[in-house]
Amino acid sequence: MSRITISVNGQELVGNSHQQLLEQLESAGLMPEYQCRNGVCGACRCKLESGHVNQKDAMAYVAAGEILTCQSVPVSDVSLTFDYQITSVPIAVNE
């Protein structure tokens, strides 16, 4: 498992190369839009500004330079841009 930097609308977080981006964003306390989680609705669509992902085939339309976070696993550091401000929620830290 590789440690990866994920930049979301300019905010950086540490991620990995084995989990879908949507799950990683949620684990970091971010709340991107989504509905189906299986690549059908396209609600989790964002722009991939830099980096590379492995993206499963999906039914939702994705333009060049876009990805579905529910279907994409990063294979390098990535920079993502959403067309909206992503809400953050505090995450609990176990001590």
Residue 3 pLDDT grade (very low, low, confident, very high; cuts 50, 70, 90): very high
Burial 37-47 (b: 16+ CB within 10 A, else e): bebebbebbbe
Using one digit for the tens of pLDDT, what is the confidence trace for 9-38?
A: 989 999 999 999 999 999 999 999 999 999
Task: Give domain status of residue 17, yes or no.
Answer: yes
58-85 pLDDT, tens digit each? 999 999 999 999 999 999 999 999 999 8
CATH of the domain at 71: 3.10.20.30
Structural domains counted in the chain: 1
The answer to pTM > 0.75 is: yes
51 within a domain of the structure (yes/no): yes
The position carrying tokens 């190369």 is 17
Q: Is residue 94 part of a domain?
A: no
Identify the domain containing residue 31 by its residue range.
3-86
In a domain, 15, yes or no: yes
Q: Which two tokens stand for residue 44?
A: 């989790």
Is there a domain that residue 48 lies in? yes
Nearest residue to 23 via CA among 31, 81, 10: 31
